[in-house]
């Protein structure tokens, strides 16, 4: 989906770029017989994989490997493997690249960057060839797209994740449609990837105020502990600030601990049931799934979350974390609203669910490592603390 910051390219206003308890029946609760059938079916799939069947899904856990911290002199490739940068925003792109050069990095600009036609920087074949070249170039230490977009999914079949699993990992960072690449890189190649502000957000320090954690992550190998900001703002109302209200869906306070995986709900829901978002092996350890909504209205959110749940993606989670929604809410009092959609889709989910966290298209946002071991504590009154580390 289009990153909030990317949307600024298309508007003159610079517009960006609980769980209810068992007293109620949930359509997602399985009977004892249904649950046994579900477990047996998944166990059979695991046995078939172990026996070398032709199934495409990986069952063996993939060890997570973290990129080495960046240092002055390292090469950073900038390519738009989804949406490119319109000419009217080249100045902002130049400012972002200058901020990298000022920190001592060598910036390698791709050819798929400074154009945008049909919602992409270039035809899929050109974007794929350039991305593969940067992924396999040992001199490139990081790949930073300017932002997300709509069409990264076209490139997935052309990437050799088994070959990438044999290479030293390199930094991939961003959010929105960047999730389409980062989640499979973590799940299938074992690369820790960084969900956080996009490259095009770097010049907006006074408006995004979340870049410090991103830069610290790139340069130290792990973001420092991060607290929920006490306020946020929306791209469609940049002159206003709003009080933070992070909380648990079924209460105010609580905690969860597990290995992080996730990204933009709008794009990841399209990967459910494919080899690119198969969480079975990842959930061999406690796992925290995090998601954020870019454009979905409440009924779309309900369908997306319900679909993930029906696919088994939420089975056995240690926690679910949802960022602030950037999508439209209910138009009137009789329509389903965003929180109502969450409660309908997640009714009976046995893990804690945190909502309105600093994740996604409504800034500021945390820097989250896909693959990191994380501890999230929600204290109530709009306060939360996230700690991440490489090992459990």
CA atoms within 13 Å, Cβ hemisphere of 324: 22
pLDDT in tens, 215-270: 778 888 887 788 998 888 777 777 788 888 899 999 889 999 999 999 999 999 99
pLDDT in tens, 107-166: 999 999 999 999 999 999 999 999 999 999 999 999 999 999 999 999 999 999 999 999
Rounded Cα gap, residues 354 and 365, in angstroms: 15
Given this model, what pLDDT does residue 245 score?
86
For all residues of the chain together, what is the average pLDDT? 85
Rounded Cα gap, residues 280 and 43, in angstroms: 11
Mean pLDDT of 21-43: 41
Domains observed in the chain = 75-224 (3.40.50.10740)
End-to-end CA distance of the chain: give it in Å, rounded.
32
Least confident interval from 69-83, 240-254, 368-382: 240-254
Given this model, what pLDDT does residue 223 score?
73
User: H/E element holding 59?
Assistant: none
Q: Specify whether the CB–CB gap between 190 and 169 falls below 8 A.
A: yes
Name the DSSP class of 362. S
Given this model, what pLDDT does residue 354 score?
97
- Count CB neighbours of 205 within 10 A: 13
């Amino acid at each position: 989906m289009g990153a909030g910051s990317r949307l600024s390219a298309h508007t003159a206003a610079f517009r960006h770029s609980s769980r209810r308890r068992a007293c109620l029946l949930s359509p997602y609760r399985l009977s004892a017989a249904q649950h046994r059938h579900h477990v047996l079916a998944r166990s059979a799939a695991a046995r078939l994989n172990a026996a070398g069947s032709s199934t495409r899904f990986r069952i063996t856990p993939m060890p997570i490997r973290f990129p080495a911290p960046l240092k002055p002199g390292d090469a950073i490739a900038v390519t738009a493997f989804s949406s490119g940068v319109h000419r009217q925003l080249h100045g902002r792109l130049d400012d972002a690249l200058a901020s990298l050069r000022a920190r001592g990095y060598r910036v390698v600009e791709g050819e798929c960057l400074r154009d945008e036609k049909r919602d992409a920087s270039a035809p899929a074949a050109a974007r794929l060839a350039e991305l593969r070249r940067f992924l396999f170039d040992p001199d490139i230490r990081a790949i930073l797209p300017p932002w997300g977009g709509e069409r990264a999914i076209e490139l997935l079949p052309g990437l050799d994740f088994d070959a990438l699993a044999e290479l030293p990992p390199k930094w991939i960072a961003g959010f929105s449609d960047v999730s389409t690449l980062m989640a499979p890189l973590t799940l299938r190649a074992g690369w820790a990837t960084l969900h956080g502000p996009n490259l095009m957000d770097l010049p907006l320090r006074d408006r995004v105020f979340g870049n410090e954690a991103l830069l610290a992550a790139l340069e130290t190998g792990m973001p420092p502990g991060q607290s929920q900001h006490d306020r946020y703002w929306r791209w469609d109302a940049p002159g206003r600030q709003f009080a933070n209200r992070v909380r648990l869906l079924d209460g105010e306070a609580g905690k969860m601990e597990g290995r992080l995986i996730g990204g933009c709900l709008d794009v990841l829901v399209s990967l459910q049931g494919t080899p690119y978002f198969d969480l079975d092996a990842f959930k061999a350890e406690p796992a925290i799934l995090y998601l954020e909504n870019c454009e979905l209205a409440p009924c779309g959110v309900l369908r997306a979350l319900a679909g993930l749940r029906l696919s088994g993606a939420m089975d056995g989670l240690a926690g679910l974390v949802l960022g602030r929604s950037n999508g439209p809410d209910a138009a009137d009092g009789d329509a389903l609203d965003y929180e109502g959609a969450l409660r309908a889709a997640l009714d009976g989910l046995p893990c804690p669910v945190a909502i309105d966290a600093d994740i996604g298209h409504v800034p500021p946002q945390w820097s989250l490592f896909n693959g990191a071991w994380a501890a999230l504590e929600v204290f109530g009154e709009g306060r939360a603390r996230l700690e991440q580390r490489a090992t459990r």
